[in-house]
Structure 1
Amino acid sequence: MMAEQFQTAGKRAHGPALPFVVRAARMDDVRAIYALLQFFAGRNLLLGRSLSSLYDHLRDFKVAVAADNDRQVLGVCSLHICWENLAEIRSLAVAESFQQGGVGRALVLACLDEARNFGISRVFTLTYQPEFFKKINFRPIDKNELPHKVWSDCINCPMFPDCNEESLIWEAGE
């Protein structure tokens, strides 16, 4: 099944489940993606992205949108290719009222499908939510095992150099 065709129902904090679809991000999603990322960046839960960066890297992003309103962005995730056989899951954010309903999982799985389509068999993440990723077959990895190239965004992080994110990796076939 193609990631863009993935459809399911996510739990809501209040009210019935809302069916959603995961698809490639589009230009008209950028402002909603920006607002969602800024919300969590303001809580030091992820690294914020500028509007310029979002436009520059729009092709990296997947969004989960309400099945009946594809302008209602429920969540976002990015697959950033770092090297020949290495990519990063970054900018995973799900609106608070749609957390715990499978939206984040669907977004990450869509990104992993895309990695497979590119022939990438290793995908890492830096996260404050390691248990979430462990449920999707990511395992801990020492940050020092990752190429130095992956740290280029770290210098822009307010937590640098005292980062306490955990690094995890997914490898095809595990």
Structure 2
Amino acid sequence: MKISEMKTSLAGLQAVRFRLPDGTYLPDHFHVTEVGLVSKHFIDCGGVERQETVANFQLWEAGDYDHRLAPQKFLHILALSEKILGRQDLDIEVEYQQQTIGKFGLDFDGTDFVLTLKQTACLAQEACGIPSHQLLSLPQLQGAGCSPGGGCC
């Protein structure tokens, strides 16, 4: 999900709810503790230099059970974050504390924001000697957030 899509989705909501990949919901009293710009500049195992930049949201919960983040307040946080993010329409990555800090993609089902699983992958499989029968099919790649022409496959 991109920032513009989140803004559009928030504008039509009465309440903000996040659902984990296993179907459970984050507690209603969650906080957005950070909105940041995360840039990754790296070389893959095939020697190709790459760069990725995402908007990162950190979700957190405390013992303040009466806290509720209204859609209008979330939109205000996004407006404030433009100081850091600029006006780029970036993909959103979400961090949420579980046994360790989990990183998730984000989707919207018309009612709730859905945290989606992220996967690691070798970006230079041919350089690593991975047999072609072990390569993921297009539906598997799309499930992992890849799309034709998206630069991840």
Same fold, judged at TM 0.5 (above): no
Task: Report which of the two structures shows the higher radius of gyration computed on alpha carbons.
Answer: 2
Provide TM-score, normalisation by structure 1.
0.27
Provide TM-score, normalisation by structure 2.
0.30
- Higher helix proportion, which one? 1
